[in-house]
């Protein structure tokens, strides 16, 4: 990947967009951890992966997250520092899947899931297996969704799409919309998995957030079903943003990556 002047400009523009959306969109407080919030603005990282590809998208998401953390209202608070890699990992995995490198995305996501099993809140596993189950059940579902997502993309790319008819345009939008929803849900679950892993590190839950090990376990157990619902909401919003943009730009020279799973392989 070459960082041309054009690419650097795109990274800067998208990073600025990330910051703006982060300060104007609402945040959702994390239950039992009042100093930690989930920003709906972070969902734009999935869109970055779709539009800019895995690497430029990840760079733009990291820069945007870093600027959002440094500037007001966050102003460099320690509470946000451990989670700076969540948005770029979201963009990276979405971009890898969308640009035909899904095996790397699958392996990366699977590794993040496995790591949690060896962190203090899960240990000893024989006694606290239910903590792991509460955290990773929805992540495993998202991981498995990578395969049907790739299959859907492959079927779209092999189909003959006639852009002249209204029905064909509607069908294309529905199919790609489904694809993007799955991609954005997977990406936001990757974001969540990194957040869970880093929060499970003693330096983070203990030194930064002032929780005991049992307090950290309680934070993971308090609501294992609300957070997947939040990720579904984020995926829906991200899809609504990405779909019209990608449909408008996929046949233009503006596109950063050429070989997406929407394009036929020769």
Q: Which residues share a beta bridge with 30?
A: 33
Distance from C-alpha of 179 to C-alpha of 77, rounded to nearest angstrom:
36
- Shortest CA distance to 257 belongs to which of 16, 3, 50? 50
pLDDT in tens, 26-81: 777 776 676 677 777 788 999 999 989 999 999 999 999 999 999 987 777 888 89
CA atoms within 13 A on the CB side of 86: 25
Q: Is residue 261 very low, low, confident or very high in pLDDT (cuts 50, 70, 90)?
A: confident
Distance CA 20, CA 41 (A): 8
Q: How confident is the model at residue 5 (pLDDT cuts 50, 70, 90)?
A: confident
Q: What is the pLDDT of residue 225?
A: 81
- Collapsing DSSP states into helix, strand and coil, what is residue 115? helix
Q: Is the dihedral of CA 203, 209, 215, 220 positive or negative?
A: negative
Say yes or no to pLDDT of 247 above 90. Answer: no
Provide the token pair at 87: 């948005």
Q: How does the average pLDDT of the chain come out, rounded?
A: 86
Residues 146 and 102: their CA atoms lie apart, in Å, by 7
Contacting residues for 253 by C-beta, under 8 A, at least 6 apart: none
Interval 136-165: pLDDT, tens: 999 999 999 999 999 888 888 776 444 344
Instruction: Look at strands 27-30 and 33-39 and give their pairing.
Output: antiparallel
Cβ–Cβ < 8 Å for 80, 241: no
- The residue among 234, 216, 264, 250 whose CA lies nearest residue 40 is 234
Whole-number pLDDT of residue 161:
41
Q: Residue 250 has what pLDDT?
A: 67
255/86: higher pLDDT: 86
pTM of the full structure: 0.90
């Amino acid at each position: 990947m070459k960082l041309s002047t054009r690419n650097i400009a795109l990274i800067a523009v998208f990073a600025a967009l990330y910051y703006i959306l982060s300060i104007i969109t609402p945040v959702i407080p994390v239950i039992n951890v009042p100093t930690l919030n989930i920003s709906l603005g972070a969902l734009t990282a999935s869109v970055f992966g779709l539009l800019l590809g895995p690497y430029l998208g990840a760079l733009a998401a990291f820069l945007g997250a870093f600027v959002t953390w440094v500037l007001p209202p966050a102003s460099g608070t320690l509470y946000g520092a451990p989670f700076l890699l969540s948005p770029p990992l979201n963009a990276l995995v979405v971009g890898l899947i969308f640009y035909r490198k899904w095996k790397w995305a699958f392996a990366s996501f699977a590794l993040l899931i496995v790591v949690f099993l060896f962190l203090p809140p899960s240990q000893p596993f024989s006694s606290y297996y239910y903590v792991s189950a509460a955290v990773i059940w929805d992540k495993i579902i998202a991981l498995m969704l990578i395969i049907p997502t790739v299959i859907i993309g492959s079927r779209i790319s092999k189909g003959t799409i006639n852009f002249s008819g209204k029905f064909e345009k509607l069908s294309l939008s529905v199919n790609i919309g489904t694809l993007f929803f799955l991609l954005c849900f997977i990406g936001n679950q990757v974001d969540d998995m990194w957040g869970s892993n880093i929060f499970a590190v003693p330096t983070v839950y203990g030194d930064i957030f002032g929780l005991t090990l049992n307090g950290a376990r309680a934070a993971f157990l308090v609501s294992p079903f609300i957070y997947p619902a939040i990720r579904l909401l984020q995926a829906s919003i991200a899809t609504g943003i990405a779909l019209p943009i990608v449909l408008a730009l996929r046949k233009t020279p503006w596109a950063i990556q050429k070989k997406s799973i929407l394009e036929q392989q020769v």
